[in-house]
Amino acid sequence: MSDSVVSVSGATREQLDRAEDHSAHNYSPLPVVIESGAGCWVKDVDGVDYLDVLAGYSALNFGHAHPALVRVAREQLGRLTLTSRAFQHDRFAQYCEDLSRLCRKEAVLPMNTGAEAVETALKLARKWGYDVKGVPPGRAEVVTCSGNFHGRTISIVGFSSDPDAYTGFGPYPAGFVSVEYGNADAFESAITDDTVAVLLEPIQGEAGVLVPPVGYLAAVREVCTRRGVLMIADEIQSGLGRTGETFACDHENVTPDIYVLGKALGGGLVPVSAVVADWPVMRVIGPGQHGSTFGGNPLACAVGSAVVALLETGEYQERSRRLGAYLHGMLRELPVRHVAEVRGRGLWAGVQLAEGMPSARAVCERLLARRVLAKDAHEGTIRIAPPLVVERDELTWAVEQLADALAE
Ligand SMILES: *Cc1c(COP(=O)(O)O)cnc(C)c1O
C-alpha cells in the first residue's frame, strides 16, 4: 500500500500491519479500519466518519445496525441460536413461509452463504434433470454466462471467465458450458437434450454492474419454458430491493424457476442464503441428500423474517427507484472526459472511467480521503451501491466527492 495516496494514522497503520502479518492476502482492502456503523455511515478507529456507498456488496441494503433487525437479533440471541436441522425450532416455519411469500414460490431451502446457495441450486437442477426431465445419469449440463460471478467454490470458479478466479484451482467439475451474457439466442443454441438449467445474474454485479439488453431475461424465460430447462436467477446481489424492485427479474415480469438469494437476506448481521422454488423442483431433494449445520438456524430465521417484513413494506424498493433515478441523473452529468458510461438500475451504479483516467482503485483511494467508501469492480469501474436508507443529500454529497476525486 506504499503507492496509496491516503495517509493513515498510527492506529490505522498498526491494525493494517498486523492483519498483513496474520491474515491470508486474499483481499487488498482500502487502508481504513472501521470500528462502528449506523445507517449509511461508519466510523474508523480514529473517529473519522465515512459514507459507505458499497454497503457490503449489497449485504447492507438496510444499512448498518438497522434498529428493527438489531432488536430482533438481540432478542433471538438471548433465546435460541442453534438447534441444527436435527430438531425443528419455533422460527423455522414462519421464516420459510415468509420468504416463500416474498418470492411468490412454494418452498425454501435455507443455507448460509451465497456460494453455498448457488451450489445448492446446481444440485437441485441436476437432480431435477435426472429425476423429472429424464436426463441419462451423469450427463446433466448447466449453461452459465460469460463474465459471471457466483462465488468461490471449486465448481463455481470452474465456470468463471475471470482468470484470477479460476487459475490454479483445477481440475474443475464437468457439466458446465458458457455462453455470451445478454444473448438469448446464444443460450438457446447451447441447449442439448442434457441441459437442465441456465444460471445467470439478472444484472452482473462483479463484472461491473452490467445490465443486459432489454428483453433478455424475458427471452431466456421463454426459451427455458419452451425447451424444458430451469431458469436459475442468482439474485444474491441484485435482489431484495437493490434495483428498485424486490427482484431484478421483476423489471421484465420474469419469474425464474429458482431464486438464489443471500447477502441482504441476513440484514448485514448474519450470513443467510436460500434457494427458493416451487414443489415440482424442490421435491427432488429428500432427507439426507443435502443440508448444512447452520442453514436455517433460529438466529438466521429470525433476522430473515424481519428482512422480509422490511421488504414487504415496499419502502426500500420505492427509495431505490426514486433515489436511484436521482443518483443516475447526477452521475450522467459527470464530464465525458472522466466518465465513459454509467450503468445500473435503482441505487446501483457502475461508473465506467474514461480512457486515460487513473485506475478505479486509485479513484476509490481518493474517495476514501474524501470520506466516501466505494469499491472498484475490475479495472475501470467504480461501483456505487449505498444502503437503501441513504438520503438524497448524502447522495448529492457523495457524487460531489466523486466529481472532485475524478478532477484531482
Ligand atoms: C456475492 C455473490 C455471490 C457469493 O456470495 P458469498 O456469500 O460471498 O458466497 C454469488 N453470486 C452473486 C451474484 C454475488 O454477488
CA of 58 to the centre of ligand 1 (A): 10
CA of 114 to the centre of ligand 1 (A): 4
pLDDT category at 4 given cuts 50, 70, 90 is low
What are 200-212's pLDDT values in tens digits?
A: 999 999 999 999 9
Q: Which amino acid is at 139?
A: R
Domain that holds residue 343: 10-65+315-407
Phi (first) and psi of residue 232, to 5 degrees: -105, 115
234 is a catalytic site residue: yes
Of 150, 158, 163, which Cα lies nearest the Cα of 202?
A: 150
Q: Is residue 180 part of a domain?
A: yes
Q: Is the pLDDT of residue 244 over 80?
A: yes
| DSSP class per residue in 273-337 | EEEEE-HHHHTT--TTSS--SSTT-HHHHHHHHHHHHHHHT-HHHHHHHHHHHHHHHHHHTS-TT
Taking CA atoms only, the protein residue closest to ligand 1 atom 15 is 237
Of 149, 201, 270, the residue with max ligand 1 atoms within 8 A of its CB, to mutate for a pocket test, comes to 149
Q: Is the pLDDT of residue 382 over 60?
A: yes
Residues 6+ apart with CB under 8 A from 290: 109, 120, 123, 124
Q: Are residues 103 and 170 in the same domain?
A: yes
Phi (first) and psi of residue 277, to 5 degrees: -155, 170
CA distance 400 to 408: 12
Choosing from 62, 92, 149, 159, which is the catalytic residue? 149
Q: Give the domain CATH number at 398.
A: 3.90.1150.10
Residue with cell 462465488: 151
Q: Are residues 120 and 156 in the same domain?
A: yes
**Pairing verdict, β 195-200 and 141-145:** parallel
164 is a catalytic site residue: no
pTM of the model: 0.97
Query: How many helices (H) and strands (E) are present in the chain, helices listed first?
Result: 14, 15
Last residue of a domain, one of 281, 312, 343: 312
What are 147-203's pLDDT values in tens digits?
A: 999 999 999 999 999 999 999 999 999 999 999 999 999 999 999 999 999 999 999
Express as a percent the part of the chain with pLDDT over 90: 98
159 is a catalytic site residue: no
- pLDDT of amino acid 1: 40
Q: Are residues 337 and 382 in the same domain?
A: yes
What are 387-404's pLDDT values in tens digits?
A: 999 999 999 999 999 999
CA of 177 to the centre of ligand 1 (A): 20
CA distance 127 to 345: 34
CA of 60 to the centre of ligand 1 (A): 13
Please tell me the total count of domains within the chain. 2
Q: Which amino acid is at 143?
A: V
Choosing from 44, 234, 257, 376, which is the catalytic residue? 234
Q: Are residues 130 and 265 in the same domain?
A: yes
Dihedral of CA 332/335/341/344: which sign?
negative
Q: Are residues 248 and 114 in the same domain?
A: yes
Q: Are residues 111 and 192 in the same domain?
A: yes
What are 137-152's pLDDT values in tens digits?
A: 999 999 999 999 999 9
pLDDT category at 314 given cuts 50, 70, 90 is very high
Tell me if 284 sits within 8 A of 83, measured CB to CB. Answer: no
Residues 6+ apart with CB under 8 A from 282: 106, 107, 109, 124
